[in-house]
Structure formats: C-alpha cells, structure tokens
Chains A and B, each alone.
Chain A
Amino acid sequence: MKFLKFLFVGIFFGIVLVKSEAVSWYRIFEMFKFQSFHMYGIIGSAVFLGILFLWTFKKFKVKSLEGKAINLPAKNKSVTRYLLGGTIFGLGWALAGACPGPMYILLGTGVSSMLLVIAAAMLGTFVYGLLKDKLPH
C-alpha cells in the first residue's frame, strides 16, 4: 500500500509525457534541428516552475510527507564525467529518440521493440559499472 502513491505518480507522469509528445522520436529530432519551440517550451517551463517549487520548499522549510526536512543532495563537483557522460547520453538520446523515462512509457503504449532498447540500456549501465574505476570522473 505504501507504494500505491508512487504508482499514481508514475501513471500521471506517463500520461503527461505521451500527451506532451515528448516521448516522440520526431519531437526529439525536431528539437535538435531547432525547428520548433515545442520541446524547449516543455523543458523551459518545467525548469522555471521546478525552480519555484524547490525555492518554495526551502523558503518555507516544507517537511516531506514523512515529516523529514526536504534536502536534495548536491551533485559532486566535476566537469569531465558530466560533459563526457552527457555527450554519450545525448548521442543515444537523439538516435533512439527516447531517454530512460520515455523508454518505459513507450513500452506501455504498445511498442514492443522498446524492450530491445531497454535491454541495451541495461547492458550499457552494466558495462559502465564494470569500467567505472578506469574512467575519468
């Protein structure tokens, strides 16, 4: 039962991403071609409102549902891993037209071939885990 709320968050997220067309390969292609404002509007308005939400949580010291202080972990400082890892991710994102969230959502829309992409993404994560200590971070 304690997981039920997370199930609903996931359902909501899945519906929003399909209805926004952010799960569409075509929209990602169009974004990287700078041929439409659509995706920039989605990401831009999400970040703008996201900043307001998190600022409000901090400003009014909002407690989480479990009564704990809300504390988002700061990301470790580095450039290499974010730039290199981010670029590798971007190459895959533009080719598959889907990042991890949409991969699951698209599976739900009935695209069975997405299972292959998810399996390959797990393999990529696994290989990263093997090579982690040898890569510059």
Chain B
Amino acid sequence: MEVLLQPWPWYVSGPLIALTMAILVFFGKTFGMSSNLRTLCSIGGAGKYADFFKFDWKSQQWNLTVVLGAIIGGFIAVQFLSDGSAIDLSAATISDLKVLGFENAGATLLPSEIYDWNNILSLKGFSILVIAGFLVGFGTRYAGGCTSGHAITGLSNLQLPSLIAVIGFFIGGLVMTHFIIPLIF
C-alpha cells in the first residue's frame, strides 16, 4: 500500500497509460481527450455559428463519461492515494524556476504563481491562463488531436501525421519554455 501512495515511477505510469489507450480501442473507441472540447461547444449551441459543431454529439457521450471519470480519478488520487510527498524535480529545474521567481517548486502539482486566484485576479495572471487555454484549444483542433490522440494513440499506430504533430508540440513547447516564459516571469 505504501508503494501505491508514493509517486509512481515512469516505467509503471507509461505502460498504464498505454493500457488505458488499448482498453478504449478494445471497447471500440479511440483515446482522445481534446475531442471533448468540440463536443462541449456543440452542446453549448456552437452549431448555430459553424458547421464544424453540427454533429451528433450524443455519439460522444462515452468520451464525456471518460472525462467525468478522469475528474473523479484526480479527486481519488489526491484524497486517498497520496502521501503528500513533493515532486522530485531535478535540482537544475528548481534553481531555474527560482531565478524566474517561482518559490517551492514541486511542493504542489501546480505553481501558485500561476494558479492561485490571488494571482489570476490581475490582468497579467488572468491573461496567462486565458491565452494558454485558448492556444491549447485552438491548436489541438487545428492539429486534429492532443497528447492522447497524437503522441500516444497516433504514434502507437505508426501514423506519420502524428509524428509531425508531436514535433510541432515540441517546437511550441520549447519556444514557450526557453524564450517566452522568461519574458513573462
């Protein structure tokens, strides 16, 4: 039980993510989390504005159920399956973050500097989260998938388009981390 409560090593987590993908394929579906954003837009009436959102969203109820489960899973993991140990970040990461003004890196899952409401209720803090979310939502649909659809499912299925998308993920991620984040913080 103690082992369960500690952070899980990559060689346990990675294969379990592959198992999640394989189970969904066995259930006759595909693993793709970002499609739910489109479904939520359709439910909200976006079909009135663009044909892209005119589809039978009820066919996606299974995927919304996965989302509901993922929310519950997140709750269970922190409430019942955690011993509160800090994230074992590399010393270089912690010191780089300190230079940028991030204190206590790894003490929680997310930095309070970005996700605390106190910081969000400023123009800068609000803009950071809205722009970040917008880029994820726009980019994932443009690219036709996110980390689950392209990096896990697409690469496992040896799809060249998914490899191109993952290269794009890294171009964007590297530019943000190395050039833009140091300008923002």
Chain A residues engaging chain B, CB cutoff 8 angstroms: 3, 5-33, 35-39, 41-51, 53-54, 57, 62, 64-66, 68, 70, 72-79, 81-101, 103-114, 116-130, 132, 135
Contacts and interface: CB of A to CB of B under 8 A. Distances in A.
A124 B134 contact: yes
B9 to A, nearest CB: 8
B176 A104 contact: no
A46 B22 CA distance: 11
Nearest to B40: A122
B109 A10 contact: no
B135 A88 contact: yes
A36 B71 CA distance: 27
A16 B17 CA distance: 7
A42 B13 contact: yes
A109 B115 contact: no
Contacts of B12: 20
Contacts of A26: 87, 89, 93, 97, 105-106, 109-111
14 contacts: A20-B13, A37-B10, A53-B18, A86-B164, A91-B180, A95-B128, A96-B132, A99-B33, A101-B146, A107-B71, A112-B117, A118-B133, A129-B49, A132-B50
Given A104-B71, A129-B52, A85 B139 contact: yes
User: What does DSSP make chain A's interface, helix, strand, loop or mixed?
Assistant: helix
Interface of B: 4, 7-30, 33-34, 36-38, 40-41, 44, 46, 49-50, 52-53, 61-63, 65-78, 81-82, 87, 89-90, 92-93, 96-97, 105-106, 109-111, 114-117, 120, 126, 128-148, 150-162, 164-178, 180-181
A84 to B, nearest CB: 6
Contact of B74 (A8, A18, A45, A54): A18
A113 B120 contact: yes
Contact of B46 (A50, A82, A114, A129): A129
Given A92-B132, A92-B136, A100-B140, 6 more contacts: A6-B29, A9-B69, A16-B16, A47-B155, A82-B144, A93-B176
A124 B155 CA distance: 25
Contact of B133 (A28, A86, A110, A120): A120
